[in-house]
Chains A and B, each alone.
Chain A
Amino acid sequence: MAQWLIKNGHLIDPANGLDDVLDIRIANGKVAAVGKSLSAEASDEVIDASGLVVSPGFIDIHCHLREPGQEAKEDLLTGTASAAAGGFTTILTMANTRPVIDQAIIVAGMKHKIQTDAVVRVEITGAVTKGLEGKELSEIGDMAQAGARAFSDDGYYVNDGRLMRAALEYASMFNLPVISHSEDCCLVADGVMHEGCVSAKLGLKGRPAEAENIAVSREIMLAEMTGGHVHIAHVSSKGAVDLIREAKAKGIKVTAEVTPHHLCLVDKTIESFDSAFKVNPPLRTNEHIVALIEGLKDGTLDAIATDHAPHAYEEKDCEFNEAPCGFAGFETAFSVLHSCLVQTGQWNLQALIHKMTAGPAAAFDWKDRGHLSVGGLADLVLIDPKKEWIVDPHAMLTRGKSCPFTGMEMVGQVVRTMVDGKWVYQDGKIIRN
């Protein structure tokens, strides 16, 4: 196995409090040394990372790989290639596949396929309820023993409070979180965008922010009642941020994530009726974005997650009401946040990297990920913070070519990704080892 010496990079490792020009040596799939002016050993292959940022590999705790069952949208090959291109070295895939990941045998099958097809680490979410139907608990314990790392009916809110209570109690025996897609089903009804001035004007049915607030409120109360760990997926409303902040202050075991699109896009984009902007929960308004950024800064929101949800282009190319929700997110995540928040001075690069590395690892207690500690996993990414590029979905590695950032000018891009001491992505290409 090659031994790498990455020299003169701006190493940002929030978990270890590192933010300096440092060298890093990788040997045997582990971080062998981090320090100033490390001298090259005979077996080192040296990479000059001058002008580049070296960061722990990003961790995405919310994505959809569509396999099994919907490979026309994405599969493990294209999905993990896309993740690697976005700098993600660990991703957590959701259970809403066909069949739904709701039994240990499906978890086992996935793990097997991951070994052959995936270029990054893929962790698996099991469904909370059988078939995501919200009626009966899935075999949570069996799936936990087969290697599932979290449980979620993402895409659907577990409407039955009694069932969600049981899920939190049961999953807590295995020290695993239950991820909640928090939107009150009745209030959301058949809404397709944020309820507000834009929906009123366009005549499109709205999904009020209160639907999210109410659902988050219940989850927090159930987490307090059960002592279970609830993780709130894709927080998009100011009210939800306030509720989570309050709950954390009380010591309730709640963590939360926010997506790049909810941080950088508003509902006004839907005036074009372009279904690329259709997502659940919906894009909201600037008032909500300000609250989300504040929530990231003060630690209320633990992590940035992509909610990478690829669809075949043809499926999204239809009337707005008919289009499925979601879009590809791996390959734009870092650049979008760097361009929209860091370049504009609203946030800093160190904090962004924290929320994409140590933040998600801590939220799910993945102690071996999200840092570049000596002796730890060599999962890392090289970023060119000055690289300018324009988003072109057709140049992306994901099969999901519908993207709300199409045509946007970006500053900053991932240029190399290493998993387990091996380069898996470099300058637009996947390296399969």
Chain B
Amino acid sequence: MRGQHILGLEHMSVADIERVLNTADEMKKVTKQDIKKLSTLRGKAIVNVFFENSTRTRSSFELAGKYLGADVINIAASTSSVAKGESLRDTLLTVQAMGVDAIVMRHSAEGAAQYATRYVKAVVINAGDGAHEHPTQGLLDLLTIRQHHGSIAGKKVAIVGDILHSRVARSNIWGLLKMGAEVHLGGPKTLIPKEMLDMGVTIHHRVEDAIADADVVNVLRIQLERQKKGLFPTPREYARIFGINDERLKLAKENVLVMHPGPMNRGLEISPDVAYGRFSAIEEQVNNGVAVRMAVLSLTLADGVQA
């Protein structure tokens, strides 16, 4: 995978996904060590260019790079020349000119990471492009499921919430389907494009049907900023009809895994008892996020030198 851009899971092969997950399993051990430092990426420079706010993804990538021995810097759009009207191309060319080996990029525009590959020779890793894809989140979710259930193939995974605006949902769908899972989407009609059926999923508008007998329930954040567009009447109504609470979770399998990419709206899409309950893997996801990003960086920048 050396030199390969990581733009999304739609076009990533099953073999590559497995390589990332296997490497991440090894990397996870490093994150548990007392001294979390490898020399795999010593001498490599990574820049996190975040045109959208992010805490967990940016710091996860930053730590991943640092644990691997790379030099990592962060550029936030609000403090960059973007605020002065610089184009994305110019920003990318500037970063490129600094001689970096990888650009980890988050941007509100779908396709922005793909666009970046036109202008930079460095490896481009998509840290979320609009509502399109968030491949490392998809990979860490796959890793979390595999660790919990032993395998992904044959599992029923329910993805519940604001699918329409979610890059996490799209990366999850591609990754899960490739690995042989059954994907069920649940939520109001206004938040699930019916054309997603074409991707190979099942759609439910009664959230109970989506999570019935599910092995995994992945709850997505309701993007309250989209509320003004009237996609559902009120948060109160959403929570009552579509929110995942203890009662509803009983419909899923006994050893169900509950995931959430964060940040959560507690009491809206997920009740606190579920978010912090015994089925929740939310903290584990964060830990796996670092491992997966270490795997992705090491595989694309250094042939995945083992820990």
Q: Which residues of A contact B (CB under 8 A)?
A: 189, 195-197, 199-204, 206, 272-273, 317-322
Contact = CB atoms under 8 A, between A and B. Distances in A.
A272 B110 CA distance: 11
B164 to A, nearest CB: 8
Contacts of A322: 109
B199 interface: yes
Contacts of A321: 108-110, 130
Given A319-B111, A321-B109, A203 B167 contact: yes
A200 B193 contact: yes
Contact of A197 (B109, B195, B229): B195
A204 B195 contact: no
Given A273-B114, A319-B88, A201 B199 contact: yes
Nearest to B10: A201
A133 to B, nearest CB: 24
B58 interface: no
B17 to A, nearest CB: 18
Most buried by B among A195, A200, A272, A320: A200
B195 A200 contact: yes
A322 B10 CA distance: 24
Given A319-B107, A319-B109, A321-B109, A203 B115 contact: no
Contact of A203 (B114, B130, B198): B130
B76 interface: no
B131 interface: yes
Contact of B110 (A197, A203, A317): A203
A197 B196 CA distance: 6
Contacts of B133: 203
A368 B112 CA distance: 50
B131 to A, nearest CB: 3
B37 to A, nearest CB: 37
Interface string B112-145: 1011000000000000011111000000000000
Contact of A201 (B88, B107, B198): B198
Contacts of A320: 109-111, 115
B89 A199 contact: no
Contacts of B107: 319
Contacts of A202: 110-111, 132
A196 B108 CA distance: 21
Contacts of A203: 110, 129-133, 165, 167, 170
Contacts of B165: 203
A370 to B, nearest CB: 41
Contacts of A204: 110-111, 130-132
14 contacts: A196-B195, A201-B196, A201-B198, A201-B199, A203-B131, A203-B133, A204-B110, A273-B110, A273-B114, A273-B115, A317-B89, A318-B88, A319-B109, A322-B109
Most buried by B among A197, A203, A206, A322: A203
Contacts, number: 63
A201 B115 CA distance: 17
B87 interface: yes
A151 B133 CA distance: 43
Interface in B53-107: 87-89, 107
Given A199-B193, A273-B110, 6 more contacts: A200-B196, A203-B110, A318-B87, A319-B115, A320-B109, A321-B130
B108 to A, nearest CB: 8
A206 B110 CA distance: 13
A206 B167 CA distance: 16
Nearest to A320: B111
Interface string B137-171: 00000000000000000000000000001010010
A361 B193 CA distance: 42
A318 B131 contact: no
Nearest to B119: A317
B221 to A, nearest CB: 15
A201 B196 CA distance: 7
A97 B109 CA distance: 28
A273 to B, nearest CB: 3
A270 to B, nearest CB: 9
B159 to A, nearest CB: 14
A196 B113 CA distance: 22
Contacts of A201: 10, 170, 195-196, 198-199
A271 B198 CA distance: 15
Nearest to B116: A319
Contacts of A318: 87-89, 115
A132 to B, nearest CB: 25
A206 B131 CA distance: 12
Most buried by B among A199, A273, A318: A273
B10 to A, nearest CB: 8
A272 B10 CA distance: 13
A196 B193 CA distance: 8
B80 to A, nearest CB: 15
Nearest to B173: A201
Contacts of A199: 193, 195
Interface in B13-61: none
A86 to B, nearest CB: 29
A319 B88 CA distance: 8
B198 A197 contact: yes
A17 B162 CA distance: 59
Most buried by B among A197, A206, A272, A319: A319
Nearest to A273: B111
Given A317-B89, A318-B89, A200 B110 contact: no
B202 to A, nearest CB: 15
Most buried by B among A201, A272, A322: A201
A197 B200 CA distance: 11
Interface string B207-237: 0000000000000000000000100000000
A200 B130 contact: no
Nearest to B107: A319
B116 to A, nearest CB: 10
A200 B197 CA distance: 10
Contacts of B198: 197, 200-201
A7 B110 CA distance: 55
Most buried by B among A195, A196, A321, A322: A321
